[in-house]
A and B are shown apart, each in its own frame.
Chain A
Amino acid sequence: MAKQIYYEDVEVDTEITPLAKIATTRMLVQWAGASGDFNPLHYDEDFAKAMGVGAPIVHGALKRAWLGHLMTDWIGEEGKLKKLSCQYRGMDYPRKMKTMEEPHDGETWWCKGKVTKKYEEGGEHLVECEIWVENGKGEKTTPGSALVALPMRAKK
């Protein structure tokens, strides 16, 4: 984890430290097991075709979990994630595997965000953020928002 960020460190438009992710077929299988979501839409080529999405797609909930990772990394151990939401707008297709461990060359996804508002309420120092997952073409396939409370550098 990066060093602790404080309320005083952020302003509107401050960028959240971006986080790179590479979805692979292997990762989708791992996610299916870890989350307990065994919908064949995410691992069975024929089923995915029959469902009209062409090929197995990345789980929306995995992209949502990536956004959780983005936020908990950014706010550090003393920050508090209060709200997180996202919409599954665009479909993403995982890279296939070249070896047991290595995926083929291809798309890299980025989890990104920026501060949209900061304010004090109920004794907390709150920061609202716009967050999203963008695909290799720069399209926001999973837009969302987050609300966090950050610690103060100077105690008032």
Chain B
Amino acid sequence: MANGSLITDELRKMIGVTLDTIAFKVEEGAIQRYAQAIGDPNPLFNDPDFASKTKYGRLLAPPGFTGWPAKTGRPTEKLFVFLVKAGAPPRILDGGIEFEFIEPIGAGDVLTATTKIAKVTERETKLGKTMFTTAEVTFVNQKGRLVLKSWATIIQF
């Protein structure tokens, strides 16, 4: 930890290493409840009969929804625990997210999400010495197709 850096050696060693792999099903009811919570009446996300007659053939998940709970491209609990254990500052803010949508995700899909730390940087901000971690999550469906990639920014200070 040279020069008071927030990025510990333990953390630096983990960049690019897979932290977590989980598989889960995207349920129809979960999609509907998510669309309702957004206030999005789009029948592609709400009406299975309508959606089944479209080219998608099933209820579609709104962009960023990959199944309940909280697997919307967010880093997992395990990642937060890991970051704090690796000596990162304890105060955490959700900095933002970037999604690349590759193929549609819909009801009945089984996704496997793999999380790794893609990048860690630090700089002085109005919060003081601040660390920015980019967690990359890739989602592969039951056919082995890459359907979604996300990059979440975690701010710690």
Contacts and interface: CB of A to CB of B under 8 A. Distances in A.
A34 B42 contact: no
A49 interface: no
Name the prevailing secondary structure of the B interface residues. Answer: mixed
Contacts of B54: 77
B9 interface: no
7 contacts: A34-B33, A36-B68, A61-B72, A71-B63, A82-B100, A84-B64, A85-B96
Interface residues of A, number: 32
A46 to B, nearest CB: 18
Contacts of B42: 1, 69, 72-73
Given A71-B63, A72-B62, A77-B54, A35 B94 contact: no
Interface string A1-39: 100000000000000000001000001001101111100
A77 B54 CA distance: 9
A33 B101 contact: no
A61 B94 CA distance: 9
Nearest to A29: B37
B1 to A, nearest CB: 26
Contact of A84 (B39, B70, B94, B101): B101
A60 B72 CA distance: 12
Contacts of B69: 35-37
A27 B95 contact: no
B44 interface: yes
A144 B36 CA distance: 23
Contacts of B72: 35, 61
Contacts of B99: 83-85
A62 interface: yes
Contacts of A72: 40, 42, 44, 62-63
Interface in B53-81: 54, 62-65, 68-72, 74
B64 A87 contact: no
Given A34-B37, A35-B34, A88 B44 contact: no
A33 B37 contact: yes
B38 interface: yes
B96 A27 contact: no
